[in-house]
Chain A
């Protein structure tokens, strides 16, 4: 398996623009997670899905952030409009039921909003 695949690896955008981050989880994994990493707040869980259904989005910072999982092999995290404080590394991860066997992380997307 190729692991969890995220795209793009780097994104630089201007304030106010829409940003879409993409994730392909490991085939067969039931859970998908989106995390954000910043120096100030460390690794924060934004939202997670089970069988394509959002289970907990309490970590989503505000309405500008949205996430979807239209099928078992694809998820998006969208920021509209983007702001400089959204600059961070965004990770996607997937796992089997309740994390059995561990969680696998993608390489992350480094987002810079100028």
Chain B
């Protein structure tokens, strides 16, 4: 099956700093999503981005499907950005496979 690797596993930032999270996947995919799991455990969809670039406020994401990676960029980080960021992909089977996540802590 498709393997998903995220890096870094942990990240500590000072408020206001920028960061880039990476997701590598082992095979061609039909779908790729970035999720933020908040302190209450909810999985919040950030981007549905099987290819190309999208932006939403301080967050943006880029997926280069031919090279099998995606990047999530957080600018001017805030303490509310803390939590776990997951990348998840699916191929022709429709099964959504998650990476192990990046745990982000933003300090005031």
Contacts and interface: CB of A to CB of B under 8 A. Distances in A.
Interface of A: 31, 33, 42-43, 45, 48, 50, 55-56, 89, 91, 93, 95, 97-105, 107-108, 110
SS class, residues of chain A in contact with chain B: strand
Given A101-B48, A103-B33, A110-B41, A93 B92 contact: no
B56 interface: no
Contacts, number: 59
Interface residues of B, number: 21
B42 to A, nearest CB: 6
Given A99-B31, A102-B31, A56 B93 contact: yes
Contacts of B24: none
Given A89-B41, A91-B43, A110-B41, A103 B93 contact: no
A100 B46 CA distance: 15
Chain B contact residues, majority secondary structure: strand
Nearest to B99: A42
Interface of B: 30-31, 33, 35, 41-43, 45, 48, 86, 88, 90, 92-98, 100-101
A89 B90 CA distance: 22
A45 B93 CA distance: 13
A91 B94 CA distance: 17
A11 to B, nearest CB: 14
Contacts of B94: 31, 48, 50, 55, 95, 97-99
B96 A103 contact: yes
Contacts of A43: 86, 88, 98
Contacts of A31: 94
Contacts of B31: 98-100, 102-103
A8 to B, nearest CB: 14
Given A56-B95, A93-B96, A103-B96, A98 B90 contact: yes
